[in-house]
Amino acid sequence: MGTANDSTFSHFILLGFSDRPQLERVLFAVILPAYLLTLLGNSTIILVSRLDPHLHTPMYFFLTHLSFLDLSFTSSSIPQLLYNLRGQDKTISYVGCALQLVLFLGLGGVECLLLAVMAYDRFVAVCKPLHYMVVMSPKLCVGLVAVAWGCGVANSLAMFPVTLSLTRCGRRSVDHFLCEMPALIRIACVNTAAVEGTVFVLAIGIVLSPLVFILVSYGYIVKAVLQIRSAAGRQKAFNTCGSHLTVVSLFYGNIIYMYMQPRNSSSQDQGKFLTLLYNISTPLLNPLIYTLRNKEVKGALRRLLLGSRETKEIRAGSRQTRGKLSW
């Protein structure tokens, strides 16, 4: 390879699944409807949570942010992937690649922290139910979400310039379907030990610390639930946490399995499919998990879809409370 100045790059080449043309056609046929369903599902959660005053609570405030995150996260990579799957052109502009990297790092970090915030919300709901509305005040909820977004953005701003500034000696081909940090580090032609060490340290703070907090929170929740004497009470408490726990398991299960793979060619191919699963499955399934397991959301959907008198009252109430938290 030559020693061309990397700053003159106008584009990268995302190899993706280009070595399997038949698979590309199958993936396009599967991913396009999945992406459209993701847009529909998460938009519906946001819309319902905004329109129905019954859902103006801390839990649905956080869920709205989670749905917005999922919409943004999947939209940062899937449209480019669909374009690349559709034909021979596998290029992405340098700016587009940088934007993908920024969003992937930032939104992924925010989601880790937001899931920890939602775990705290469930902890207060189960362990301190009488003080729930006092503890989970609008000011605290906005503050927690702001911290999650701030830390995620800070993580992204710290890592993406370092990753893009690595010397690549003219290498443009990225063995992935998106501009993910490990894939960009692999095409560098310099020692990347310092960068990888920094990534490891930041990952502990942005990925593992929230997971530990979630596990500790659920430890206290399980302890509190086991002290409930009635079976109906225990079932209600578990139902309160079931959707969130399912989402956490899906999200962290994908991440841990994806990044625990050894570095060889077969694991890199497997990593592409795991990343694809991570980009599609979590944003697609989250709305289904919260809708199918939640009577409040199903009730709100029913009222909106039936167009009943109650829906008109809901919309009138929404106009009065729009732009502010009402709990």
Which stretches of the chain are assigned E, i.e. beta strand? 11-14, 91-93, 173-174
Distance CA 3, CA 25 (A): 36
Distance CA 113, CA 108 (A): 9
Please give the DSSP secondary-structure letter assigned to residue 205: I
Confidence label for 290 from pLDDT (cuts 50, 70 and 90): confident
Compute φ and ψ for 90, nearest 5 degrees.
-115, 15
Residues 6+ apart with CB under 8 A from 103: 72, 73, 76, 156
- Report whether pLDDT(265) > 80: no
Residue-level pLDDT at 287: 85
Question: Which helix (H) or strand (E) covers residue 111, if one does?
Answer: helix 94-127
C-alpha neighbours within 13 Å on the C-beta side of residue 270: 12
Cβ contact 192:142 at 8 Å: no
Which of 36-45, 154-163, 189-198, 250-259 has the largest mean confidence?
A: 36-45
Query: What is the pTM assigned to this prediction?
Result: 0.84
Residue 312 DSSP SS3: helix
pLDDT digits (tens, 9 = 90+) for 316-327: 555 554 555 556
- Report whether pLDDT(292) > 50: yes
pLDDT digits (tens, 9 = 90+) for 79-118: 999 999 988 888 899 899 999 999 988 998 999 999 999 9
Compute φ and ψ for 60, nearest 5 degrees.
-80, -20
Distances (CA, A) of 18 to 21, 41, 76, 83, 87: 6, 30, 20, 12, 10
Taken in order of first residue, the domains within the chain and their CATH numbers are 9-321 (1.20.1070.10)
Please give the DSSP secondary-structure letter assigned to residue 175: S
pLDDT digits (tens, 9 = 90+) for 128-151: 888 999 999 999 999 999 999 999
Residues 6+ apart with CB under 8 A from 49: 55, 56, 60, 61, 63, 64, 67
